[in-house]
């Protein structure tokens, strides 16, 4: 079994390495991790440090990304904003994956009325536009990054549930599952010991692509003023402050916008590459 898993991961890594776009996305994601962890060391200034003498200065050697309407260094705020975006992405997707995986496993394994009931819940959730549902919930809550992460996660698990259910429906009919039932294994042991490890592939792909969506959603909420609240730097609220000065302070919108674009694109490229590497029908 250990040899089988080692061979699988070796083949997966070889196929992933052949996908240049996926590797570029992976390196960008790794760089973002380093930047977010080392933001206090990399940021040249205090991200919330106000300087009335340097208001709306264009990019220069002192301030590579310029300054905002309060004289704060935009580069420092973008670096610290990476921390917020990655935190939101991973926590929100973690919540969504946990819920979706459990629902998908239970629905696919038990089938019948349990499957029908859980899938109707999924269908009802999918009827509501996710972003507007998030807006509606956030409106009634106190603005907080933790609420944002929870709401994004609680409204984004349906796709994972459907993928895991589809995998579970095919796996539960295999011989080793039948053998596990014959020797008296409990349903919970079969689900989490034998079925769950074989559903990792779709979960991994969904999680990678979901992080990009969560970062984009958080940025949109912050841009609308109901996400991460100032003075905490977020790519979305940096864009919000820049929209009022876009005619003559272009750098306030350009640099956080590029950060969002590059991050979302990197995660999408990595997710697509992982999906292709795990799909035997795609030639490596």
The pLDDT value given to residue 262:
93
The pLDDT value given to residue 6:
61
Q: What is the mean pLDDT of each run of 10 residues along the chain (284 residues)?
A: 55 83 92 91 90 89 91 92 88 93 92 89 84 77 80 89 91 85 85 86 87 87 80 86 84 91 92 80 55
Cβ atoms within 10 Å of 261's Cβ, excluding its own: 11
Q: Give CA–CA dist 27/179, Å, rounded.
A: 43
The pLDDT value given to residue 280:
59
Report pTM: 0.85
The pLDDT value given to residue 140:
78
The pLDDT value given to residue 160:
92
Q: 86-106 burial, b for 16+ CB within 10 Å, e for fewer?
A: bbbbbbbbbbbbebbbbbbbb
The pLDDT value given to residue 78:
93
Numbers of helices and strands, H then E, in the chain: 13, 0
- Cβ-based neighbours of 33, under 8 Å, separated by 6 or more: 86
For each of the domains in the chain, give its residue range(s) and CATH number, in order of start: 2-46+66-278 (1.10.3720.10)
Question: What are the two backbone dihedrals, phi and then psi, of residue 107, each rounded to the nearest 5 degrees?
Answer: -65, -45
The pLDDT value given to residue 8:
59
Cα dist. 186→155, 164, 198, 246, 272 in Å?
31, 20, 18, 62, 36
Residues β-bridged to residue 73? 67
The pLDDT value given to residue 284:
52
Q: Find how far residue 280's CA is from the centre of its chain.
A: 25
Q: Give CA–CA dist 85/228, Å, rounded.
A: 10
């Amino acid at each position: 079994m250990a040899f089988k898993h080692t061979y699988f991961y070796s083949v997966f890594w070889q196929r992933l390495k052949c996908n240049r776009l996926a590797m570029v996305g992976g390196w960008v994601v790794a760089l973002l991790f380093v930047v977010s962890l080392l933001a206090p060391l990399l940021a040249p200034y205090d991200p919330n440090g106000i300087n009335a003498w340097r208001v709306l200065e264009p990019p220069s050697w002192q301030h590579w990304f310029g300054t905002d309407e309060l004289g704060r260094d935009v580069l420092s705020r973008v670096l610290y904003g990476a921390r917020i975006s990655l935190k939101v992405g991973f926590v929100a997707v973690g919540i969504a994956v946990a819920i979706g995986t459990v629902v998908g496993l239970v629905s696919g394994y038990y089938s019948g009325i349990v499957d029908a009931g859980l899938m109707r819940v999924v269908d009802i959730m999918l009827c509501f536009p996710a972003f507007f549902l998030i807006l509606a919930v956030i409106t009634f809550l106190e603005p907080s990054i933790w609420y944002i992460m929870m709401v994004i996660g609680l409204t984004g698990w349906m796709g994972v549930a459907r993928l895991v259910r589809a995998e579970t429906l095919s796996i539960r009919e295999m011989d080793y599952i039948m053998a596990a039932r014959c020797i008296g294994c409990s349903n919970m042991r079969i689900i989490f010991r034998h079925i769950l490890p074989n559903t990792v592939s779709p979960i991994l792909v969904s999680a990678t692509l979901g992080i990009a969506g969560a970062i984009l959603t958080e940025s949109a909420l912050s841009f609308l003023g109901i996400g991460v609240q100032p003075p905490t730097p977020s790519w979305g609220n940096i864009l919000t402050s820049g929209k009022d000065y876009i005619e003559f302070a272009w750098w306030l919108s350009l640099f956080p916008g590029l950060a969002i674009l590059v991050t979302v694109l990197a995660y999408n490229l990595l997710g697509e590459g992982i999906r292709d590497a795990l799909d035997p029908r795609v030639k490596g």
